[in-house]
Amino acid sequence: MDCVRAFTVLGLETSCDETAAAVVRGRTPGPGEILSNVVLSQIDEHQPYGGVVPEIAARAHVEALDAVVEQALADAGMGLADLDAVAATAGPGLIGGVMVGLTTAKALALAAGKPLIAINHLEAHALTARLTDGTEFPFLLLLISGGHCQLLAVEGVGRFRLYGATIDDAVGEAFDKTAKLLGLPYPGGPNIEALARTGNARRFPLPRPMLGRDGADFSLSGLKTAVRQIVRGENWDEAMRADLAASFQAAVLDVLIDRSASAMTRFRAEFPGAHTFVVAGGVAANSAIRNALSELCAHEGFAIKIPPPRLCTDNAAMVAWAGVEHGQLGLFDALTVAPRARWPLQDAAAGGSRIPARPKS
Ligand code: KG4
Ligand code: ZN
């Protein structure tokens, strides 16, 4: 792959509540150079509702995206003509937002005469450790975000082996729902993390679902239910909030460690000699989780790679980088590619509208 020249890609991300655009230059396997990275959060617009409202998100993307793209190009000191391709998240996510980003990318690609690359949002999270560190395949990935919670072996671009996933709530969702129960504003993750710092994690013995089970599946909804029972119980007192936040986070940590350790055993058997563990997704911004997983890796003989927090939460640099990786393999998409609300990572290779790689002249 070293013979391929570096690609410069504009990436758009609109699948949830961040309107984002970025320009990244690089070549496989990374690291890449982030020439610009603009992220406009809609948190203020969703906060009164305690969560992301899809209709509000879609409208906010429509209003903000043009200016965000202009800013990303200006920060990179580039025009559309300087790009090799335009990439956008094509799913999974809130369909209204995905449509806005993908349609805008199609228009830009068509107007500039550049190829379009449709990116799976989860693959963008998965490949971020290559953007930051040039992490070689294969690696074991723990993807923990607001909508996703899975452990997989990443063998290559579009090549994933699912080891386990949540059977109910995602980790970020559990943080957000628990935060709501504790009366903390959306998004709950960072607020729980801050409150947990001052609390006693041993005060409430919360359940650790799936602990010790075979495989690498997760279940987190019971944890949230246990929190709800405590908060609605007669002995509840607001002064206990920090202790409950700390107890909740401690339970999540134990679950993540147990499930990751189980996946490591399988990964070691299937990929002898490989020992990189990557953590991605918004929840990877949590420093208690980062520290606990670092300790696990030291104990299990894995090298840990966790992108910096601003590249763990949703951003467009990861989309642009995934575009670079696809582009280097000659994987471009037709302008007819459809947005998808659901798009499991195992199907990421099957873009549906893929234009076959052009033979090199
Ligand atoms: O990856 P992301 O930005 O969006 C999705 O693709 O879902 O992840 C957002 C999720 C939210 O649930 C948020 O509460 C959680 O990541 N999150 C955190 C922290 N920062 C963000 N969870 C725990 N601790 C944090 N510091
Ligand atoms: Zn995400």
Q: Yes or no: say if 3 and 85 are a contact pair by the CB < 8 Å rule.
A: no
Q: What is the pTM of this model?
A: 0.93
- Residue among 197, 196, 195, 20 at smallest CA distance from 97: 20
Q: Ligand 1 mean position to 92 CA, how many Å?
A: 16
- DSSP strand pairing (332-333 vs 354-355): antiparallel
- What is the position in ligand 1's atom list of the atom closest to the CA of 186? 14
**Quick one: pLDDT band at residue 354, thresholds 50, 70, 90?**
low
pLDDT of residue 51: 78
Give the span between the Cα atoms of 329 and 54, in whole angstroms.
Answer: 34
pLDDT of residue 277: 98
Q: Ligand 2 mean position to 13 CA, how many Å?
A: 9
Structural domains in the chain, CATH included, are: 7-129+312-356 (3.30.420.40), 138-308 (3.30.420.40)
The response to whether residue 153 sits with its C-beta less than 6 Å from ligand 1 reads: no
Tally the residues of the chain: 361
Q: What is the pLDDT of residues 186-227, one digit of tens each?
A: 889 999 999 999 999 999 999 998 999 999 999 999 999 999
Please provide the average confidence, as pLDDT, over all residues in the chain: 93
Indicate whether 156 pLDDT > 50: yes
Q: What is the pLDDT of residues 269-321, one digit of tens each?
A: 999 999 999 999 999 999 999 999 999 999 999 999 999 999 999 999 999 99
pLDDT of residue 45: 84
pLDDT of residue 48: 83
Give the span between the Cα atoms of 90 and 115, in whole angstroms.
Answer: 15
**Quick one: pLDDT band at residue 238, thresholds 50, 70, 90?**
confident
- Residue among 205, 209, 206, 149 at smallest CA distance from 173: 149
Q: Yes or no: say if 211 and 256 are a contact pair by the CB < 8 Å rule.
A: no
pLDDT of residue 283: 96
More confident site: 48 or 69 = 69
pLDDT of residue 351: 47
Ligand 1, atom 8: nearest CA belongs to which residue? 282
The response to whether residue 169 sits with its C-beta less than 6 Å from ligand 1 reads: no
pLDDT of residue 24: 98
The response to whether residue 97 sits with its C-beta less than 6 Å from ligand 1 reads: no
The response to whether residue 172 sits with its C-beta less than 6 Å from ligand 1 reads: yes
Least confident range of 51-55, 149-153, 218-222, 256-260: 51-55
> Looking at residues 124-135, what average pLDDT do you find?
97
Q: What is the pLDDT of residues 31-66, one digit of tens each?
A: 999 999 999 988 888 888 877 888 888 898 999 999
Indicate whether 3 pLDDT > 60: no
Report residue 349 as tokens: 């290779």
pLDDT of residue 360: 39
- What is the position in ligand 1's atom list of the atom closest to the CA of 309? 20
Question: Residue 285 CA: which ligand is closest?
Answer: 1
- Residue among 322, 284, 325 at smallest CA distance from 306: 284
**Quick one: pLDDT band at residue 349, thresholds 50, 70, 90?**
low
**Quick one: pLDDT band at residue 154, thresholds 50, 70, 90?**
very high
DSSP code, position 329:
T
- SS3 track for 339-354: CCCCCCHHHCCCCCCE
